[in-house]
Structure 1
Amino acid sequence: MPTLTPSAETEPRTESEKETETETKSAAVAGADTATGISADPTEADQLDVADALLTLLRDTDTEARPDSQLEALTLAVAADLPVLLWGEPGIGKTAALTQLAETLDLPLTTVIASVHEPSDFSGLPVLGDDPAEQGVPMAPPDWAVRLVRAGRGLLFLDELSTAPPAVQAALLRLVLERRIGTLRLPPGVRIVAAANPRSSAADGWELSPPLANRFVHLQWVHDHEVVVRGLGGTWPRATLPRLDARKLPEAVDFARRAVCGLLAARPGLVHRLPSGETRRGGAWPSPRSWETTLRLVAFATAADSSREVLSLLVRGTVGDGPGLELLASLDRMDLPDPETLLADPAGAVLPERGDLRQAVLDGVVAAVRGRPEKARWDAAWALLVRALDTGAPDLVVVPATTLATLRREDWDVPASIERLAGAVTLSRRADDAAVRSPLAAKAAR
């Protein structure tokens, strides 16, 4: 993304306004060349106009629809009305990404450098009235907050968050969570996005306080070489809001609730886990608040049919890598076919393509047979393993086949399908034995 200098409030320019500005600058140059807009022999007084015309041409860039997971994750979180915190090294394009997002969504951009403000700038400035003892002392909001309320919509960009001292971070808590500044409440049309540099590369940086960090969706912002090269050539990725399928909304909410509640019911220790290290406390970690945020993001991602990569960025940026990956694994298992359905029709079974998911399905089928051991179910499980052998990697059936064989009762005849599996099991065991012998032989040779 191009680096733009943030201003106190930036109004997005339309294409017609850009063209008018370029024409005005070019026309201001006496005797300007029609191709370049620059005079062949400008006077001293014209030099600044020529420079302005050149700057206008440099700012004139296009956008294109291009897959970008981190940009899609950002727009999805913005659509879900969740505060987002972009982490990245200086100069990586965080500010430019927010500027381009505001222009694309046609939202007024208000940039506030958190580190240069006092706590009272966010909690409100006390203003004495006619009779403080009778009416109290109201807390007046800053001018930028008043402008946002008057506009009714906008993108509030809290920049340099990691250089804000603890007192300022404490004052930001109510703004980020409750959207209040003094007695003023920001309208629903205002979205909040922040940016921060890691403490190691921040100017006089601080770690984020755990209460403030737990209110954000943390996204690691990195540059893509191809995006930068193409952008410097004049074309940047276009930030667009996700297209939510109205027909999927009830289904998306139900899916998100089952996913999050199912994981936390099985893993109660994940409901709240405050990290021990100061640095990790300043990032994403699980709490009832962040799980509520995660549930909302899963629902939005489901309704928007977002990719697994985008969902992974959002989930791990909300509850942390460990709990996030557990939730993603739980989501995978929710889509797995029911073992009883597979046992009822092994010939027509459709097994997952991914190896880990296929292994989980086969293990689930064997567990179902163990739970209710019957001859017909045992035979159906063998037929399913044969189907898995014909449609996927042979090594995935080794463990289920070995376990299933131990469930045989004395009066059960061995099905003919076992012969199809014998070769795969034998080859796998030989490969395992060879893998064990190779290091031993190498060690003996030394």
Structure 2
Amino acid sequence: MIPLSLDIAADLLALLHDTATEPRADPQLEALTLAVAADLPVLLWGEPGIGKTAALTQLAEALELPLTTVIASVHEPSDFSGLPVVGDDPATQGVPMAPPDWAVHLAREGRGLLFLDELSTAPPAVQAALLRLVLERRVGALRLPPGVRIVAAANPRSSAADGWELSPPLANRFVHLQWAHDHEVVVRGLGGTWPRASLPRLDPERLAEAVAFARRAVCGLLAVRPALVHRLPQNEARRGGAWPSPRSWDMALRLVAFATAAGTSREVLSMLVRGTVGDGPGLELLAAMDRMDLPDPETLLADPAGAELPERGDLRQAVLDGVVEAVRKRPEKPRWDAAWTVLGRALESGPPDLVVVPASTLAALRRPDWDVPASIDRLAGAVSLSRQADLAAARVAAGRRG
């Protein structure tokens, strides 16, 4: 029997580490990259062993940033607030708070990715000490340079060793991203081919446009929904996640600008805004952004024959409702006729059921001396057919209940 040789074992390990990569879109990594580029602290939430650390390593290599890992739960509060060092004359010079070696190393490098791991296992005293580091980038008397980015990782309390809920002040300083594994990626990776994600790129031609769009979106929503400016959750667990405050709305505005400049997908944008102000306010912001791109009803009424309507059903419905509402506010025969033309365009290019309610409402706005336009015949047939289908579906449902 051949005795075990560490040289042969090293050869076997080298074969196991010899893997290939392939390009693959990764919305999670794209959202993380944009948040890091926006210079916002990010907190990755996920079960143990699903690749949070591997994602950070890949991101640091792609951005050419040195990675510094600090396990928050094994440190004392003084490791983040600074260790007091008594000088020759503390009565006149004071007692400086000396930073730990990892902070000095980051300051010397001038740039880097600081990874605060196991954040949910850090006791409340350590979390309190982290507040200044996360928000002001200060460790003791040392200020970290602008080239340092901060990313943390945490396990849900149910799967964390001696886990704690995050304090609301600390939680509100992070962009919270839920991290999950992809079954197909894991299988292909174990088979020897791991994904290589392409990172988003900012378009220098769209920077000013992106900032203006983000400001209009956030300010427009908060102007009509002032209750969303600050809403501290009542539930303790929810306080440890994303929730709306002036600070988190400022972060959301910054992320919308970065996502717009990068031309990112709606999925990535949704991750970012919901991870900053919470699911409910985040979805309201996304809906408000959708409405910002809708055509003005007055423009459609001015040129109904050339009306361009959105493809998405919910957006198309909102446009048609807006056109009818514009006629209701200023009912005039030419505007009423133009609205029927717009509805006719919608019938030609989309599902007829979206026209039913606007057509019924528009018909009710007719004045006795207004002639019925010729285009209404096609719409009347579509409305009648749609209503017959609804009645048939209702009869089937009633039969099943019987």
| TM-score normalized with structure 2 length | 0.97
Kindly indicate whether residue 68 of structure 2 is the aligned counterpart of residue 114 of structure 1.
Answer: no
Select which of 207, 214, 218 maps to 1:249: 207
Kindly indicate whether residue 75 of structure 2 is the aligned counterpart of residue 128 of structure 1.
Answer: no
SS state at 1:112 partner: strand
Select which of 142, 155, 172 maps to 2:130: 172
The one-letter amino acid of 2:258's match is F
Contact in 2 for aligned 1:351/1:388 (Cα 8 Å): yes
Contact in 2 for aligned 1:73/1:314 (Cα 8 Å): yes
Unaligned runs of 5+ in 1: 1-40
Equivalence for 1:18: none
Equivalence for 1:350: 308
SS state at 2:149 partner: strand
The C-alpha deviation readout for 1:312-343, integer Å capped at 9, x for no partner, is 01011101110000100111101111111111
CA distance in 2, matches of 1:108, 1:234: 26
Kindly indicate whether residue 28 of structure 2 is the aligned counterpart of residue 70 of structure 1.
Answer: yes
Contact in 1 for aligned 2:86/2:96 (Cα 8 Å): yes
Select which of 334, 350, 355 maps to 2:292: 334
CA distance in 2, matches of 1:236, 1:299: 31
Kindly indicate whether residue 252 of structure 2 is the aligned counterpart of residue 294 of structure 1.
Answer: yes
Residues 6-155 of structure 1 aligned to structure 2 (within 5 Å): 47-155=5-113
Contact in 1 for aligned 2:22/2:194 (Cα 8 Å): yes
The C-alpha deviation readout for 1:333-374, integer Å capped at 9, x for no partner, is 011111111111111111111000000000010111111111
Contact in 2 for aligned 1:259/1:334 (Cα 8 Å): yes
Equivalence for 2:269: 311
Kindly indicate whether residue 346 of structure 2 is the aligned counterpart of residue 388 of structure 1.
Answer: yes
Contact in 2 for aligned 1:284/1:318 (Cα 8 Å): yes
Shift in alpha-carbon separation, 1:63–1:149, aligned structure 2, 3 A: farther
Contact in 1 for aligned 2:25/2:198 (Cα 8 Å): no
1:240 Cα deviation after fit: 4.5
Kindly indicate whether residue 167 of structure 2 is the aligned counterpart of residue 204 of structure 1.
Answer: no
CA distance in 1, matches of 2:143, 2:226: 35
The one-letter amino acid of 1:441's match is G
Equivalence for 1:406: 364
1:55 Cα deviation after fit: 2.6
Kindly indicate whether residue 273 of structure 2 is the aligned counterpart of residue 325 of structure 1.
Answer: no
Equivalence for 1:162: 120
Contact in 2 for aligned 1:162/1:208 (Cα 8 Å): yes
Kindly indicate whether residue 315 of structure 2 is the aligned counterpart of residue 363 of structure 1.
Answer: no
Select which of 354, 373, 393 maps to 1:415: 373
The one-letter amino acid of 1:382's match is W
Equivalence for 1:235: 193
Kindly indicate whether residue 384 of structure 2 is the aligned counterpart of residue 426 of structure 1.
Answer: yes
Shift in alpha-carbon separation, 1:105–1:205, aligned structure 2, 3 A: same
Contact in 2 for aligned 1:105/1:240 (Cα 8 Å): no
Kindly indicate whether residue 146 of structure 2 is the aligned counterpart of residue 188 of structure 1.
Answer: yes
Contact in 1 for aligned 2:24/2:197 (Cα 8 Å): no
CA distance in 2, matches of 1:381, 1:320: 39
Q: How many residues align?
A: 402
The C-alpha deviation readout for 1:61-96, integer Å capped at 9, x for no partner, is 343331111111111111111111110111111111
CA distance in 2, matches of 1:422, 1:241: 51
Could you tell which deviates more after superposition, 116-125 or 344-353? 344-353
SS state at 1:111 partner: strand
Select which of 417, 435, 439 maps to 2:393: 435
1:425 Cα deviation after fit: 1.1
The one-letter amino acid of 1:400's match is P
Equivalence for 1:34: none
SS state at 2:161 partner: coil
Select which of 224, 243, 265 maps to 1:285: 243
Contact in 1 for aligned 2:110/2:148 (Cα 8 Å): yes
Considering only aligned residues, what root-mean-square deviation do their CA atoms show, in Å?
1.5
CA distance in 1, matches of 2:354, 2:38: 40
1:43 Cα deviation after fit: 7.4
Could you tell which deviates more after superposition, 261-270 or 233-242? 233-242
Q: Which has the larger radius of gyration?
A: 1
Contact in 1 for aligned 2:231/2:245 (Cα 8 Å): yes
Unaligned runs of 5+ in 2: none
1:427 Cα deviation after fit: 1.8
| TM-score normalized with structure 1 length | 0.88
Shift in alpha-carbon separation, 1:186–1:42, aligned structure 2, 3 A: farther
Kindly indicate whether residue 228 of structure 2 is the aligned counterpart of residue 270 of structure 1.
Answer: yes
